[in-house]
Amino acid sequence: MTLKRLSVVLLACLTLSACGGVDPNSPLGQRKAIFKQMLKAGEDLGGMLRGRIPFDGPKFAEGAEKLDALSHEPWKHFPQVREEDHTSAKDNVWQQQSRFQEMARNLESATGELVMTSKVQPYKVSNLGPAVQKVEDACSACHKQFRDH
Ligand code: HEC
């Protein structure tokens, strides 16, 4: 095996193990990647409000837009039938589809409101806190019902 070939193989293994053996192009791999980006975007916003990252109004508004766009994305990557492996989605995602979809819409409307709030000037951290809280509540409400930890 040539060195080049070896490094291609190694790289593929690294990528796979980084996702816990999940094919990044599978529906599961795709939704997990989106959820991770949502977490990162949400943490950046929360970090700005809590002082971990310096508050920057335009940057916050941009982050809110990003989170809002992401919040529409994971749902289409839940297939008709639950995967057997590596998913931490509970069975009831498929058994209580309408409730699941309703909670997805709740998140989308919370991130939509956050975008609106984040555009209000002058920027006020005191307005943004409750809007971010509402988004975080929408995440955890769904996780409580539909995600196995
Ligand atoms: C409507 C339900 C629902 C909402 C709302 C929701 N999630 Fe999730 N989330 C899930 C489910 C189901 C899984 C498990 C996916 C799987 O493993 O198949 C999950 C998994 C995750 C994961 C783990 C991904 C991985 O690598 O395994 C993260 C991180 C995450 N969600 C973050 C968020 C954040 C942040 C929000 C809010 C901004 C959010 N979720 C809102 C249902 C939801």
Q: Which atom of ligand 1 is nearest to the CA of 19?
A: 26
Pocket of ligand 1 (CB under 6 A): 28, 31-32, 35-36, 38-39, 42, 87-89, 93, 100, 103-104, 107, 135, 138-139, 142-143, 146-147
Could you give the CA distance from residue 107 to residue 71 in angstroms, rounded to a whole number?
7
Which of 66, 98, 147 for mutating ligand 1's site (highest number of atoms within 8 Å of CB)?
A: 147
Task: Specify whether the CB–CB gap between 50 and 41 falls below 8 A.
Answer: no
pLDDT, tens digit, 9 for 90 and up, residues 3-47? 666 565 555 555 555 546 899 999 999 999 999 999 999 999 999
pLDDT in tens, 74-96: 999 999 999 988 999 999 999 99
Contact 118, 128 (CB under 8 A): yes
Contact 134, 113 (CB under 8 A): yes
